[in-house]
Amino acid sequence: MPIVSRHAPGTFCWAELYTTDQAGAKAFYGGLFGWGVRDIPTGPGAGYTIFTLEGRSAAACYGALPEMETKGIPPHWLPYVAVTSSDETAAKVKAAGGTVLKEPFDIPGTGRMAALADPSGAAFCVWEEKGQPGIGVHREPGALHWVELLASDTDRASAFYASVFGWTRVKWPDADAPTYHLFQLGEAMAGGMLAIVPGMKVQRSAWGVYFNVSQCDAAVVRAVGLGGRVTVAPKEYPEAGRFAIVADPAGSQFGLITPPAV
39 assigned to some structural domain: yes
SS3 180: strand
The pLDDT, as a whole number, for residue 42 is 83
Q: What is the mean pLDDT of residues 186-207?
A: 86
- Checking if the pLDDT of 109 tops 60, the result is yes
- Confirm whether 3 is domain-assigned: no
Q: Is the pLDDT of residue 257 over 90?
A: yes
Into how many domains does the chain fold?
A: 2
Indicate if 110 and 155 belong to the same structural domain: no
| pLDDT class of 37 with cuts at 50, 70, 90 | very high
Q: State the Cα–Cα distance between residues 83 and 161, nearest whole angstrom.
A: 13
Asked if residue 119 belongs to a domain, the reply is yes
115 in the same domain as 20: yes
Q: Is residue 5 part of a domain?
A: no
Q: 153 and 49, same structural domain?
A: no
Residues of the chain with pLDDT > 90: what percent?
Answer: 79
* pLDDT classification of 34: cutoffs 50, 70, 90: very high
125, 154: one domain: no
C-alpha distance across the termini of the chain, in Å = 17
Asked which of 33-47, 119-133, 134-148 is least confident by mean pLDDT, the reply is 33-47
Q: Are residues 198 and 103 in the same domain?
A: no
Lowest mean pLDDT among 68-77, 171-180, 227-236, 240-249: 171-180
User: Is 226 within the bounds of a domain?
Assistant: yes
| 124 and 148 within one domain | no
Q: Which of 96, 129, 162 is the last residue of a domain?
A: 129
Q: Are residues 76 and 158 in the same domain?
A: no
Tell me if 139 is assigned to some domain: no
Q: What is the mean pLDDT of the chain?
A: 92
Over range 20-24, report the average pLDDT: 94
Over residues 189-211, mean pLDDT: 88
In the predicted structure, residue 262 carries a pLDDT above the cut 70:
no
Average pLDDT over residues 191-196: 92
Question: Are residues 118 and 157 located together in one domain of the fold?
Answer: no
Residue 152 and residue 243 in one domain: yes
Domain end residue (candidates: 70, 105, 129): 129
d(CA 210, CA 77): 10
Has residue 134 been placed in a domain? no
Spatial separation of the C-alpha atoms in residues 243 and 49, rounded to whole Å:
26
pLDDT value of position 178: 65
Has residue 2 been placed in a domain? no
What is the rounded CA–CA span in Å between residue 26 and residue 165?
Answer: 33
Whether 2 has a pLDDT exceeding 70, the answer reads no
Owning domain of residue 84: 12-129
* Whether residue 168 is found in the same domain as residue 102: no
Per-residue pLDDT, averaged over 108-136, amounts to 96
Please give the average per-residue pLDDT across 49-65, as a whole number: 93
**Which of 64, 99, 129 corresponds to the end of one domain?**
129
Q: Which among 105, 85, 20, 29 has a CA at the least distance from the CA of 60?
A: 29
Statement to judge: residues 150 and 92 lie in one domain: no
CATH (domain of 157): 3.10.180.10
- Tens of pLDDT along 211-227? 999 999 999 999 999 99
pLDDT at position 1, please? 59
Residues 124 and 153 in one domain: no
CA distance 252 to 212: 17
